[in-house]
Amino acid sequence: MALFGLAGLFIASRAADATFIWTGLAFTLISVFWIYNLIRISFDEAEGKRVRAREQVVPYTLLAIAFCSVLFHVLSPWWWAPIASNWHYIDNTINLTFWLTGIVFAAVLAFMAYCVFRFRHREGNRAEYEPESTRLEAILAIGTSFGIAAMLAPGLVVWNQYITVPDNTVEVEAVGQQWSWNFRLAGQDGRLGTSDVRNVRPNGNPLGLNPDDSHGQDDIVVEAEDLHLPVGKPVRLLLRSIDVLHSFYVPEFRVKMDMIPGMVTQLWFTPTRTGRFQILCAELCGVGHSIMRGWVVIDDEQAYQAWLGAQQTFASRASPALASSEGDSAGRPGRQDGGRAHAPH
Amino acid sequence: MGEATAEPFETEPSAEVPEVELYHATSWWTKYVFSQDAKIIAIQYSVTALAAGFVALVLSWLMRLQLGFPDSLSIIDPPQYYQYITMHGMIMVVYLLTALLLGGFGNYLIPLMVGARDMVFPYLNMLSYWTYLLAVLVLLASFFVPGGPTGAGWTLYPPQAILAGTPGQEAGIILMLVSLMIFIIGFTMGGLNYVVTVLQGRARGMTMMRLPLTVWGIFTASVMALLAFPALFVGAVMLLLDRLLGTSFFMPAIVVMGQHQNYSGGSPILFQHMFWFFGHPEVYIVALPAFGIVSDLISTHARRNIFGYRMMVWAIVIIGFLSFVVWAHHMYVSGMHPYFGFFFATTTLIIAVPTALKVYNWVLTLWRGDIHLTVPMLFALGFIVTFVNGGLTGLFLGNAVVDVPLSDTMFVVAHFHMVMGVAPVLVIYGAIYHWYPKVTGRMPNEMLGKFHFWVTFIGSYLVFFPLHYLGLMGVPRRYYTIGDMDAIPLSTGMLNELVSIAAFVVGFAQLVFVFNMIWSMRNGTPAGGNPWRATTLEWQTPETPPGHGNWGKDLPVVYRWAYDYSVPGAEQDFLPQNQPPVRQGTRSTEP
């Protein structure tokens, strides 16, 4: 309990805003009262008074855990970042699940607290003998099944939306490698050319595009820089990796999918607001896992077209002179040295 | 069922094996070291597993130091971080929890609880322990080889596990795979033993539906482990071949750091399926013995029969079965065919029903009980809280679309630590305090035990509850450092500091436990044969600690189920399983 109190003080002292201070102080107050109560009880005990509260530490703790957990959930500032894609359905399903499970958690703990309080051992007590009750067990089984179904059904509906890619999407490719992100957009012909890991050359062809495929020549290759996408247009991301497992994850978009060498995976979303969002790697990919960052910039149509016009195609990159001159002018904050994304140290 | 108590032992031709001559130890070495007595083997298993667990605990401190104080107390570098995270996970899941619950508790309790003199294959049993010890030593040896232990994460996903960007790629990964294979060989010997002993070694009158739930839990978990571990074994062999002989089971064409690798055509996802076909049952291999043990703890210390015994047994069996058809819920965003999501989300949420029923029956056992808040009971209550918490967050992760943003984040870390870390460990502690008097003949110190409980329980709740919210904000798991992450507020560092401080306090509290165990062995109050006034057979042995062969001259005969607490009309509030019925026509004491 003292630990709890100290933690509360700690939070309050380091607080950046009002919510924090109050959360921290609430923690501390609770624990101070608690410790006071324990001391009071021990004095009562020493004076030979009838000890009442001592046995009730357990039920009170159970109630406090339920109460503090809910309080933390509601009051703490640690919550997901505002959504920036169409997947608010996922948020809704999570919130529904939080409500249902939260109620069950609090109910079980409250019931336990009541039992421990009411049926604690006292002289002469004897437990009731009741091996089973088919009726009660059936009611509980059916009730639980309904609760589960209430979470599963919307989950499956949204899952169906999540895996059903609409027809009007723009195809964009994201390729992971240790430890950076590369991207490819279709050129004038609107098609991505074929690719194969065996074609990968670190200089000139990092994505392994097939040099003989005419569709690939006008593809726009973005190497270790920000990916730009237009707001409001559904995007289908084709995901590849050239070395180990990675996972494309943008917390604000609520989407995630592993990238697997040897195959192409996909996900889709519609960006709903402009801004610059961080891409995190969510699948352990070696020692650089935590610094493998990239950025997606969601532009309005005008800014997007301006960015698109400044990009190089696969064919133009293959010509070194052209590539170096344009490469310099394209230098921007997200650009990294040696392929590493923003190292925090 | 309503059968009269006078009948069963006459109508039931028991599955008892004929009395066979036990192996009798002739020297100190064969009695205490290369022992074939299940009780000694149990202690060897437990001590080895707990020692390995303490190594893993220290590793977790080093990781928490890094995560909580990345600027001021960063004493490990990224390769070390990934090595420690791997070893911590593997040791805790396989070498501590599996070995302790099955090898430790299984060995001690199965023969005593079913009324046998020993395991049916004592020599094999001994071999099982020494093979296990070898596996532990091989695993720990990887700390001392060039390159250190593997840093592939406990899931060991290829291609990364055997490529240069991962620490321990030289020798560590080989030792890890070999150690797992040795462990599985050792476990197979032990597991067969547990299953056969439960089926064939039961005393006269001990029907399957009279077994204590502890035995049911360990029995079902052993059957599951025998079916699940081979998948891991095969996966380990194939990965080893990929690493050593250059085969391509799991390895497609790959370019690492600009170098084309000599692999092509393999499938990384295949390994994930094989791993999780083992890995998910593994969760229940750990959970089911804990379920069984906690049922017995609650029943004994609440002085009330376990509520809905038959439902509890069926729930264990159904959970055991279902756990083989849910494995791909670990893989919703792995790139497997998305339609699998519908199937695995449904099976996963179905498994929540029998699990929830078990929770209801535990808390309903408290209802109108006579609850003694002893140390084992406190741990059992702590288990229910953490298990319910962790089980409910499982409903988030099992539901495919909810899993998408949460998968591979700290939410997952929080979930599985709560449900298969803290919860089973609380049961293990409760069980140790509960059976310590039988093993040593002395009571563990109650005050130290209560201190240990409160710090461990509240502390680990403070460690793992906030972690859910880190994951909700989008912090991925297995991050050496969060760095500047746009999606989270700066104050998140504070949350991490809080978690780390709580983790250190919890860790140090475990020293109190170790002290208590050692100190009470000599200084505890003598316990007598049945200090908790429990019904099951292990408390009815003629000697405490039980001698060689457990039962003296005659094997016990069982007349009733394991939960005759507070039977109306009975003099005491418990009737041991081997106590004959007093007279014809008493009312049924069995459901």
**Percent of chain A residues past pLDDT 90, beyond the cut:** 47
Contact of B480 with chain A, judged by CB distance below 8 Å, is answered with yes
Are A77 and A20 spatial neighbours (Cβ–Cβ below 8 Å)?
yes
Are B150 and B169 spatial neighbours (Cβ–Cβ below 8 Å)?
yes
Distance to chain B for A50, nearest Cα, Å: 18
Query: What residues of chain B, 361 to 390, have a C-beta less than 8 Å from chain A?
Result: 361, 363-364, 366-373, 378, 381, 384-385, 388-389
Highest-confidence segment of B257-261, B333-337, B376-380? B376-380
Answer whether the bond into residue A271 is a cis peptide, omega within 30°.
Answer: no
pLDDT reported for residue B314: 94
How confident is residue A329, by pLDDT bands cut at 50, 70 and 90? Answer: very low
Q: CA B281 to CA B322: how far, in whole Å?
A: 9
pLDDT (tens digit, 9 = 90+) per residue, B272-318? 999 999 999 999 999 999 999 999 999 999 999 999 999 999 999 99
How confident is residue A331, by pLDDT bands cut at 50, 70 and 90? Answer: very low
Q: What contacts 24+ positions apart, CB below 8 Å, involve B498-501?
A: B498/A7, B498/A10, B498/A11, B498/B462, B498/B466, B499/B64, B499/B67, B499/B68, B499/B462, B499/B463, B499/B466, B499/B467, B500/B64, B500/B65, B500/B67, B500/B68, B500/B69, B501/A3, B501/A7, B501/A10, B501/B68
More confident residue, B510 or B485: B510
How confident is residue B20, by pLDDT bands cut at 50, 70 and 90? Answer: low
pLDDT reported for residue A17: 58
Q: CA B387 to CA B427: how far, in whole Å?
A: 10
Residues of chain A contacting residue B356, judged by C-beta atoms under 8 Å apart: 140, 144
How confident is residue B554, by pLDDT bands cut at 50, 70 and 90? Answer: confident
Please name every residue paired with A298 in a beta bridge, in sequence order, or none if there are none: A229, A275
More confident residue, B362 or A133: B362
The closest alpha carbon to A129, from B358, B307, B295, belongs to B307
Residue of A nearest to B362 (CA): A112
Residues of chain A contacting residue B381, judged by C-beta atoms under 8 Å apart: 58, 62, 112, 116
Contact of A208 with chain B, judged by CB distance below 8 Å, is answered with yes
Rounded to whole angstroms, what are the CA distances from A191 to A301, A328, B18, B352?
20, 27, 77, 46
Q: CA B562 to CA B205: how far, in whole Å?
A: 12
- Tokens 């339920």, residue? A66
pLDDT reported for residue A45: 64
pLDDT reported for residue A299: 93
Is the pLDDT at B507 greater than 60? The verdict is yes
Instruction: Locate the DSSP E strands across B153-215.
Output: none
Tell me the mean pLDDT in the region A321-339: 39
pLDDT reported for residue A33: 75
**Angle, helix B172-200 to helix B122-141, in steps of 10 degrees:** 160
pLDDT reported for residue A320: 53
SS3 B25: coil
Contact of B572 with chain A, judged by CB distance below 8 Å, is answered with no
Q: What contacts 24+ positions apart, CB below 8 Å, involve B569-577?
A: B572/B533, B573/A126, B573/A127, B573/B303, B573/B370, B573/B533, B574/B303, B574/B533, B574/B534, B574/B535, B575/B535, B576/B530, B576/B535, B576/B536, B576/B537, B576/B539, B576/B540, B577/B206, B577/B210, B577/B535, B577/B536, B577/B537, B577/B540
pLDDT reported for residue A2: 64
pLDDT reported for residue A15: 59
pLDDT reported for residue B430: 96
Contact assignment for B253 to A198 by CB distance below 8 Å: yes
Is the pLDDT at A29 greater than 50? The verdict is yes
pLDDT reported for residue B406: 94
Contact of A257 with chain B, judged by CB distance below 8 Å, is answered with yes
The closest alpha carbon to B543, from B525, B561, B522, B529, belongs to B529
In this structure, are strands A170-177 and A235-241 parallel, antiparallel, or unpaired? parallel
Contact assignment for A244 to B459 by CB distance below 8 Å: no
SS3 A267: strand
Give residues with Cβ within 8 angstroms of A54, minimum separation 6. Answer: A41, A45
pLDDT reported for residue A332: 38
How long a stretch of residues is chain B? 591
Give the residue from B275, B312, B333, B532 with the most A CB atoms within 10 Å of its CB, the best one to mutate. Answer: B333
pLDDT (tens digit, 9 = 90+) per residue, B473-484? 999 999 999 888
pLDDT (tens digit, 9 = 90+) per residue, B407-457? 999 999 999 999 999 999 999 999 999 999 999 999 999 999 999 999 999
Contact of B472 with chain A, judged by CB distance below 8 Å, is answered with yes
Helix, strand, coil shares, percent, chain B, to 5: 65, 0, 35
Tell me the mean pLDDT in the region B243-266: 92
Q: CA A7 to CA A81: how far, in whole Å?
A: 25
Tell me the mean pLDDT in the region A270-291: 93
Query: Which uninterrupted H or E stretch holds B324?
Result: none
pLDDT reported for residue B8: 44
The closest alpha carbon to B12, from B147, B149, B166, B210, belongs to B210
Is the pLDDT at B495 greater than 50? The verdict is yes
Is the pLDDT at B19 greater than 90? The verdict is no
Please name every residue paired with B41 in a beta bridge, in sequence order, or none if there are none: none
Neighbours of B196 (CB within 10 A): 16
Contact assignment for B388 to A261 by CB distance below 8 Å: no
pLDDT reported for residue A325: 41
Instruction: Locate the DSSP E strands across chain A.
Output: 170-177, 180-185, 220-223, 227-230, 235-241, 246-250, 255-259, 265-269, 275-281, 293-299
SS3 A299: strand
SS3 A163: helix
pLDDT (tens digit, 9 = 90+) per residue, A236-245? 999 999 999 9
pLDDT reported for residue B22: 75
How confident is residue A48, by pLDDT bands cut at 50, 70 and 90? Answer: low
Are A245 and B157 spatial neighbours (Cβ–Cβ below 8 Å)?
yes
Give residues with Cβ within 8 angstroms of B436, minimum separation 6. Answer: B442, B443, B444, B517, B520
- Mean pLDDT check: name the lowest of A128-132, A139-143, A308-312, B301-305: A128-132
Give residues with Cβ within 8 angstroms of B491, minimum separation 6. Answer: A14, A15, A16, A20, A77, A78
Is the pLDDT at A28 greater than 90? The verdict is no
b/e B68-106 (16+ beta carbons within 10 angstroms → b)? bbbeeeeebebbbbbbbbbbbbbbbbbbbbbbbbbbbbb
Query: Which uninterrupted H or E stretch holds B417?
Result: helix B410-417
More confident residue, B54 or A35: B54
pLDDT reported for residue B10: 45
Are B35 and B25 spatial neighbours (Cβ–Cβ below 8 Å)?
yes
Which of B345, B389, B567 has the CB atom closest to A155's CB atom? Answer: B345
Phi, psi of A12 (to 5 degrees): -60, -40
Give residues with Cβ within 8 angstroms of A143, minimum separation 6. Answer: none
Q: CA B383 to CA B392: how far, in whole Å?
A: 14
- Mean pLDDT check: name the lowest of A63-67, A321-325, B377-381, B390-394: A321-325
Is the pLDDT at B571 greater than 50? The verdict is yes
Is the pLDDT at B233 greater than 90? The verdict is yes
Contact assignment for B400 to A77 by CB distance below 8 Å: no
Please name every residue paired with A209 in a beta bridge, in sequence order, or none if there are none: A195
Termini Cα distance of chain B: 5
- Tokens 């009395």, residue? B19
pLDDT reported for residue A54: 57
How confident is residue A334, by pLDDT bands cut at 50, 70 and 90? Answer: very low
How confident is residue B487, by pLDDT bands cut at 50, 70 and 90? Answer: confident
Q: CA A149 to CA B401: how far, in whole Å?
A: 15
Residue of A nearest to B459 (CA): A3
Residue of A nearest to B315 (CA): A141
Is the pLDDT at A219 greater than 60? The verdict is yes
In this structure, are strands A293-299 and A227-230 parallel, antiparallel, or unpaired? parallel
Which of A101, A163, A202 has the CB atom closest to B395's CB atom? Answer: A101
Tokens of B402: 């909810």
**Angle, helix A88-118 to helix B375-398, in steps of 10 degrees:** 160
Rounded to whole angstroms, what are the CA distances from A259 to A199, A283, A284?
18, 9, 11
The closest alpha carbon to B348, from B395, B314, B312, belongs to B395
Dihedral Cα B277, B280, B284, B286, nearest 10 deg = 100
pTM of this structure: 0.89
Rounded to whole angstroms, what are the CA distances from B282 to A167, B176, B220, B393?
42, 18, 12, 18
pLDDT reported for residue A134: 87
Q: CA B324 to CA B379: how far, in whole Å?
A: 29
pLDDT (tens digit, 9 = 90+) per residue, B162-219? 998 899 998 999 999 999 999 999 999 999 999 999 999 899 899 999 999 999 999 9
pLDDT reported for residue B303: 93
pLDDT (tens digit, 9 = 90+) per residue, B50-75? 999 999 999 999 999 999 998 888 88
pLDDT reported for residue A131: 84
pLDDT reported for residue B356: 93
Amino acid at A115: C
Is the pLDDT at B12 greater than 60? The verdict is no
pLDDT reported for residue B405: 93
